[in-house]
Amino acid sequence: MRELELKYGCNPNQKPSKIFMKEGELPVKVLNGRPGYINFLDALNSWQLVKELKQATGLPAAASFKHVSPAGAAVAVPMSETLKKIYFVDDLELSPIASAYAMARGADRMSSYGDWAALSDVCDAQTATLLKREVSDGIIAPGYTKEALEILKTKRKGSYNVVEIDPEYQPAPIEHKDVFGVTFEQGRNNFKIDESLLQNIVTKNQELSDAAKRDMMVALITLKYTQSNSVCYVKDGKTIGVGAGQQSRIHCTRLAGNKADTWWLRQNPKVLALSFVDGIRRPDRDNTIDVYISDEYDDVLRDGEWQQRFKTRPEPFTAEEKKEWLKKLSGVTLGSDAFFPFGDNIERAHKSGVQYVAQPGGSIRDDHVISTCDKYGMVMAFTGMRLFHH
């Protein structure tokens, strides 16, 4: 099949709409549902991300995409019991690829609501079972077991989007897109991200562990498929905060850092102890947790509708308690798709436990950024490669 008609483009008024190949066959098959224009943008970008993560780390990889940027990405590493609880998978037996998706989605559950899932490996029944109970628009993978496909076909009253991609497909080296009737042409970003990029360590601290190198790979490959400007925080093989599409890099760093802080705060005993009423919808529970952690909680606490979500009224999570808990977050890796122009980015990153930094370098203020890293004993590698994605 060389072309596939879509319902509409980015918006309902944008018709006609289709995906097609000028030469050869489409590398994707729709096994269920009717994916749309944005669905396929998410699918093709997220597939590239997980494929490259698998190639770089040798581990199964997964991503959770929304509006052509990852809400989260992860490789299959062991999960603690606490992480299983905050990802709401402590009642499931998970395969490596299912674990990777649980961690990718758990990075930012608010943003992953209605996501597009991507898997580097064949989707198995455990991953399908996990997906079935989450609010998700679709999935792309190189294959599906028979049981997994049967499970996914029951989701969303049978309309869940299931796409299979040819894992051997290689796109043309030159790509095009039209903007306002003008065709743009460029070479594909085939730049390979591997550990050879991390040799130029510019800080006084030169100790870069294997785990930190892996996390830098996760950060940089995630950034390669995140709308720029973009910054990514990673810990133990998984993103914990992604800041995408901001005009200012410090705003990216703050946005992603705030998400990383929320990820960590969710592991506080007070949050883990929240007791919800039976039958609460998963999105309502996630939203309530987010508000409980936020500075809005004291105001929302007065709202009876919110209180009805709890079996017992929870104690407030005070600003001082949050501050003390955040001090315990450490060993985080920070990646940036372009150079940090000022040391303020490093100052903000330090507040979220960042110890390792990977960025291209090349700012006229590199010396200031390096000295700020040195102040906190961080390790920073200059990769020399910008990773803008638009």
Per-residue pLDDT, averaged over 186-196, amounts to 93
Whether residues 249 and 141 fall in one domain: no
Question: For 227-279, what is each residue's pLDDT tens digit?
Answer: 999 999 999 999 999 999 999 999 999 999 999 999 999 999 999 999 999 98
Whether residues 38 and 154 fall in one domain: yes
Out of 161, 229, 268, 345, pick the active-site residue.
229
Out of 51, 54, 66, 213, pick the active-site residue.
66
Is 345 tagged catalytic?
no
> CATH no. for residue 157?
3.40.140.20
Q: Does 210 reside within a domain?
A: yes
90 pLDDT higher than 90: yes
Question: For 32-44, what is each residue's pLDDT tens digit?
Answer: 999 999 999 999 9
Question: For 302-331, what is each residue's pLDDT tens digit?
Answer: 666 777 888 888 888 999 999 999 999 999
Q: Does 150 reside within a domain?
A: yes
SS (H, E, C) the chain: CCEEECCCCCCCCCCCCEEECCCCCCCEEEEECCCCHHHHHHHHHHHHHHHHHHHHHCCCEEEEEECCEEEEEEECCCCCHHHHHHCCCCCCCCCHHHHHHHHHHHCCCCCCCCEEEEECCCECHHHHHHHHCCCEEEEEECCECHHHHHHHCCHHHHCCEEEEECCCCCCCCEEEEEECCEEEEEECCCCCCCHHHHCCECCCCCCCCHHHHHHHHHHHHHHHCCCCCEEEEEECCEEEEEEECCCCHHHHHHHHHHHHHHHHHCCCHHHHCCCECCCCCHHHHHHHHHHHHCCCHHHHCCCHHHHCCECCCCCCCCHHHHHHHHCCCCCEEEEECCCCCCCHHHHHHHCCCEEEEEECCCCCCHHHHHHHHHHCCCEEEECCCCCCCC
Whether residues 163 and 199 fall in one domain: no
Whether residues 38 and 136 fall in one domain: yes
Q: What is the per-residue pLDDT for 375?
A: 97
Q: What is the per-residue pLDDT for 175?
A: 95
Q: Does 273 reside within a domain?
A: yes
Q: Does 388 reside within a domain?
A: no
Domain that holds residue 343: 193-265+330-382
296 pLDDT higher than 80: no
Q: What is the per-residue pLDDT for 298?
A: 67
Whether residues 363 and 216 fall in one domain: yes
Whether residues 74 and 101 fall in one domain: yes
Is 229 tagged catalytic?
yes
Whether residues 33 and 57 fall in one domain: yes
Is 13 tagged catalytic?
no
Q: Does 99 reside within a domain?
A: yes
Number of folded domains in the chain?
3
Whether residues 261 and 350 fall in one domain: yes
Whether residues 115 and 64 fall in one domain: yes
Is 390 tagged catalytic?
yes
Whether residues 145 and 73 fall in one domain: yes
